[in-house]
Amino acid sequence: MPLMEINLGDDRVNDWFMVVMLWVLPLLSLLLASVAALMFAGNLPQFLRWRAGELSPTEEEPSISVLIPARNEATGITRTVNAVLANTGVVLEVVVLDDDSVDGTGELVQQIADQDPRVRLISSPELPAGWNGKQHACCRLAEAAQFDLLLFLDADVRLKPTALQQLTRRKAQYAETGPAKGKPIALLSAFPNQETGSLSEKMLIPMMHYILLCYLPFSRMRSRTDPGYAAGCGQVFVTDREAYQRSGTHAAIRATRHDGIHLPRIYRQNGMLTDCVDGAGLATCRMYHGAAQVVRGMLKNAHEGIANWRLLVPFTILLAGASLLPYVTLGYALVQYAAGDHRISIWFAALVSVAAIFLSHLPRWVAAWKLPQSPTGAFLHPVAIGLFLTLQWCAFVMHLCGQQIAWRGRDS
């Protein structure tokens, strides 16, 4: 009798397991993939929309200070500065802060400054305790700026000739709807065209667009000043001096490595509107070179993004549920079918899983076409999701253990 009860219990467990694997989990994966795909479909046109419109040759020329923190950037700093100087339709200056470089970065900038009075080189004082190197450099650069419009530019970003004029035009716009209607854009961020070389770059670098466009409601971000909608790309930020001072400047985020999130957040905490747009036609950037740099780059500030106790579990469910789970449920259905089980539930699980797989890939394929990104990375999307989540969990564990990735010779 006890054996019969155990067998009955095992049958019930098996039945419940089958229900979960063939009905519940396939539907869950389809739901999560659908939410991400629908959010992407709504966000992408808004992200790209501002591309429209031709520049007027009679448009007033704004004055702008382009501020570049540079630490050991000798391989590319000359191209970066010359690309800024090639911009038309603006009055500009370029201020570069040489942050204790040991590779001749400062000397290269000074050579350009000797030929062009629009370029200035300043040196960084000793990094104060409690400051991140980039945030300290940006703070000092803003103090040295001549003009009231400020563009913070990473040293590996190459601007196109009309980029500054286009960015200042967008910065001058206002919120069109919602509680923030009529508020000016106090801080604008642009996502450059991300150049990729290695396979790891092709898979993982586009994840920044995937997370942004699949999980941030752009309509709310552009109509409200809530800090929860803060988003940006630390490679290109445009602001004005008054708003920058009101936000608390980079001093308010002095310890962070992740200005892409934290700088927009302090603006919003002070009631100001921020925006982020596609900058693929305005600038290019090669963030990392090879797998080792990709891994280190993604680990160094992951805790300030997703890899923390508030976001890591929800995003693991969202990303893995939409992009990895349907492969598991499809595989299970195929194994059951091969074993001779041809019930309708097997067909249901297989078809729903295939639909979820299609929807989970769709944003990456559309992004590869529109932004543009690598088709190879889009094809390997589930592998990218698996690697991305693995790195986030590694970063979380490292943070709990008090470990931090050094970047450009610094732990801060």
Residues written for the chain: 412
Residue 11 pLDDT greater than 70, yes or no: no
The total of structural domains in the chain comes to 2
CA-nearest of 185, 269, 169 to 223 is 185
Could you tell me if residue 267 is inside a domain?
yes
CA-nearest of 22, 17, 16 to 344 is 22
Q: How far apart are the C-alpha atoms of 220 and 142, rounded to whole Å?
A: 30
130: domain CATH number is 3.90.550.10
Pair 98, 218 in one domain: yes
What pLDDT is recorded for position 6? 40
| More confident position, 56 or 191 | 191
DSSP, collapsed to helix, strand or coil, labels residue 96 as strand
What pLDDT is recorded for position 172? 92
Pair 69, 196 in one domain: yes
Residue 48 pLDDT greater than 90, yes or no: yes
Could you tell me if residue 6 is inside a domain?
no
Pair 244, 325 in one domain: no
In angstroms and rounded to an integer, the radius of gyration of the C-alpha atoms of the chain is 24
Q: How far apart are the C-alpha atoms of 18 and 13, rounded to whole Å?
A: 9
Q: How far apart are the C-alpha atoms of 374 and 286, rounded to whole Å?
A: 14
What pLDDT is recorded for position 124? 84
Name residue 152's amino acid.
Answer: F
Could you tell me if residue 251 is inside a domain?
yes
Q: Which domain holds residue 188?
A: 48-288
Pair 131, 235 in one domain: yes
Pair 275, 341 in one domain: no
DSSP, collapsed to helix, strand or coil, labels residue 309 as coil
Could you tell me if residue 301 is inside a domain?
no
If pLDDT is split at 50, 70 and 90, which confidence band does 3 have? very low
Residue 161 pLDDT greater than 60, yes or no: yes
Name residue 53's amino acid.
Answer: G
Pair 318, 243 in one domain: no
Over range 66-70, report the average pLDDT: 97
Query: Is the CB of residue 105 less than 8 Å from the CB of residue 70?
Result: yes
Summarised one tens digit per residue, pLDDT across range 307-321 is 999 999 999 999 999
Query: Which of 288, 321, 338 is the endpoint of a domain?
Result: 288
Tell me the CA distances in angstroms from 334 to 15, 186, 197, 273, 362, one per residue in order: 18, 54, 36, 50, 23
What pLDDT is recorded for position 249? 98
Residue 4 pLDDT greater than 60, yes or no: no
What pLDDT is recorded for position 56? 53
